[in-house]
Structure 1
């Protein structure tokens, strides 16, 4: 067994998904020495670049929220500023009641501010139900409430089933009637606390956004795929002197004295002044159990949803697609796919890679919906083709197909998730030189994951300063030599 010694300011980051890489990048900017350990054979986690029929595509997440600064900021700082791209079209549809219908404008995660422009998506009764909102007594939300439960009480179940559910399902692959409003849609939660009328609250959110002059794109992508972001971040980490070891599973994490950590991985023992745990909840629980059993127990309780992405390439001449970037599918309509993206329409660079090829992506799988994911890849392709034929009239045979499965890929945020995260962080913060980050804590989107990494590094700042003070006095130092 080999051993790696550490000097003050050595931080081990466990996990090389976008959160772990963002943490490593920030730590290096602050002068720390960084080692990143990743069990898989590649970096990037759920961000995965690929290709189909010679066209570069994303086989994982394909866009970043641009009205938060973290993801776009990281892309710029790792050399991808010139590759940032806005969608060529953001016009999307809802496949409901047997037709593709325009996605209503002016909503917050599917919750409308008015009842206008909802005919067709909702029944006449559903539209009338929204208009009752201003006459209803206040619905208390308490410390938290399920999005679907609250919205249904204010605006009726149709709004949840045909608007909120497909939008939330696209982000969390979850059930709107279980997902926490406080954690998943904090703007809406704040509005629900401040207003008796939900539609008034939504209109206030929209007015504030307009007053803040939030112009510009809501989302951005990267030419060649968002999957390039972790690759560029890893390259930047290495260029700054950081070490990234893939195929290196961490099997042990133990405290060593009052101000240090011992990390066992891949036949090596690394000593660190601080550790950032940036892996999904089950792996994090296993690592934290010896030193932070209460945090591990909370992480054990986090549930995950699995999903699959089906990427299809068609000859353009035979693939007439409807206008727009794609469509969402309400589960209430009994379809199998939950969304389709016309990638060649949405991203100009995809269409330009090969003008004769059209790329379409579908997604299947929701929380606790395991039957469909039991099908083999060929069946998932046929299921997607069936739904694309029914929704968009796309009857051509694809030139190629790829199925990417994300087993236990998306953490679920049930009611009370914010309190669970607070308890985890309190338990972890009690151990000097330890922090956690990733999709399980503050949001599953790329900017949220990066923000959680930034918060983890900020938390460690004081711990690292304390370590430097200790190591300035050799009698007290636990990390003064060349290691074991």
Structure 2
């Protein structure tokens, strides 16, 4: 009998799962992707501004994987025929905005955690005497801690506040004191369980990371939506948009999905499910399957952010940077800015506008974002001008993209909680997505592919 598999969630993790399933399951297997929104891709969304391609979500992904070689995102792009469309940022430095000055980010750090405390270029004053060798590894086997707690204990306050917080915040929109080392900087967690000082652990993690030469980041020429469309096509799945999955339940032969609005419910019977949705909807769907798994998944918190993009007149002067990050201690709503047309040569047009994209909001700052779009635009433009030392001209065009509850905040022990949740699930149901495996595009893709492999093995049994 022909098998049927449902992928719940049409973000990049769900689409990666669908592509991997198509590669693994027998020909003729029915694959269905249920996405409750009106479009696939989740936080991969390409927009346009001033006639140029500007991402409304993630703008790039890591080129190399944790063990070297291609990252899961690069491998998927090649699998989809987009290998020749991969592009890389220009070699232009980025900066930190501290005390009204833009200061280059010190070289040789790992997500802001330095290996050499003598090369911080005055950005922060570390307490080098704290990072002493007491005859045992920095972390015990299996131990996970908050990044901020570890770095503050070993290097002091300023290194956390001026380096680690803004670099982590640029990715996670969270504070270092609330984010798991094991999830956010896994290479450092691994080496800290072996090395006796934080400096030695950073150097060891960097040595492993640097085994793969070439650009650190990649993007898709023409936008991330090309990756989304290509994955949907390659999966051969039936795509269902705008039809939410409200419940899942075991049946004698597999699973039943309850779909659509309550007054007009629909059902779909399938043999297996990949659940690739955020933590809270995942917890609701899991409640009738495993209360323990639902509870473990449901504790994950999220940060809200907004992106503001400005198309400034051609020739608008900007600092010779790809962008900058702002420590939370500076008090601005803007936490990061990218000078898009300088950072990404494939986007720039000599006669076209100068594109600046700003990220606003951090964990716990949801209320600061609850104003209308024009207020956000005006504030972003004003703060950007103050941060770069000169008022920006009025934009010829602009947009605001809000990602309410968009970025998971991984508290220490996150991986252990996810492993526990997965262990509670019956065969034929697998979890994937940023809620479980990390916010980076490669992490989401790799998690989706692992979920597909688990489901495929179940179907073979």
TM-score, reference length from structure 2: 0.93
Counterparts of 2:48 and 2:107, CA distance in 1 = 33
> Which residue matches 1:234?
232
Counterparts of 1:62 and 1:426, CA distance in 2 = 34
Instruction: Please state how far the C-alpha of 1:136 moved relative to its aligned partner.
Output: 6.8
Q: Secondary structure at the match of 1:12?
A: strand
> Which residue matches 2:6?
12
Q: Secondary structure at the match of 2:281?
A: helix
Q: Secondary structure at the match of 2:424?
A: helix
Between 141-150 and 33-42, report the one with greater CA deviation.
141-150
Q: Does 1:395 align with 2:389?
A: no
Report if the CA contact (8 A) 1:97-1:121 is conserved.
no
Counterparts of 1:64 and 1:207, CA distance in 2 = 20
Counterparts of 2:440 and 2:351, CA distance in 1 = 31
Instruction: Please state how far the C-alpha of 1:235 moved relative to its aligned partner.
Output: 2.3
Instruction: Please state how far the C-alpha of 1:119 moved relative to its aligned partner.
Output: 2.5
Instruction: Please state how far the C-alpha of 1:394 moved relative to its aligned partner.
Output: 4.6
> Which residue matches 2:22?
28
> Which residue matches 2:358?
362
Q: Deviations over 1:358-411 (max 9, x none)?
A: 111001111111232112111111111122111222521111111100001011
Counterparts of 1:420 and 1:173, CA distance in 2 = 22
Counterparts of 2:11 and 2:442, CA distance in 1 = 13
Change in 2 beyond 3 A, CA 1:131/1:107: farther
Q: Does 1:437 align with 2:435?
A: no
1:369-448 → structure 2 map (5 Å cutoff): 369-392=365-388, 393-428=390-425, 431-448=426-443
Counterparts of 1:136 and 1:47, CA distance in 2 = 46
Unaligned runs of 5+ in 2: 66-70
> Which residue matches 1:167?
167
Q: Deviations over 1:57-81 (max 9, x none)?
A: 1001101111122101111222322
Report if the CA contact (8 A) 1:311-1:361 is conserved.
yes
Unaligned runs of 5+ in 1: 1-6, 467-484
Question: How many equivalent residue pairs?
Answer: 446
Counterparts of 1:383 and 1:135, CA distance in 2 = 47
Report if the CA contact (8 A) 1:112-1:199 is conserved.
yes
> Which residue matches 2:68?
none
Instruction: Please state how far the C-alpha of 1:418 moved relative to its aligned partner.
Output: 1.4
Counterparts of 2:255 and 2:2, CA distance in 1 = 12
Counterparts of 2:15 and 2:446, CA distance in 1 = 12
Q: Secondary structure at the match of 1:262?
A: strand
State which structure, 1 or 2, has the greater radius of gyration over its C-alpha atoms.
Answer: 1
Moved over 3 A (4+): 134-142
Instruction: Please state how far the C-alpha of 1:425 moved relative to its aligned partner.
Output: 0.7
User: Pairwise CA RMSD of aligned residues?
Assistant: 1.7
TM-score, reference length from structure 1: 0.89
Counterparts of 1:99 and 1:333, CA distance in 2 = 11
1:463-474 → structure 2 map (5 Å cutoff): 463-466=458-461
Q: Secondary structure at the match of 1:207?
A: helix
> Which residue matches 1:72?
74
Q: Secondary structure at the match of 2:42?
A: coil
Counterparts of 1:107 and 1:194, CA distance in 2 = 19
Report if the CA contact (8 A) 1:139-1:150 is conserved.
no
Instruction: Please state how far the C-alpha of 1:162 moved relative to its aligned partner.
Output: 0.5
Instruction: Please state how far the C-alpha of 1:186 moved relative to its aligned partner.
Output: 1.3
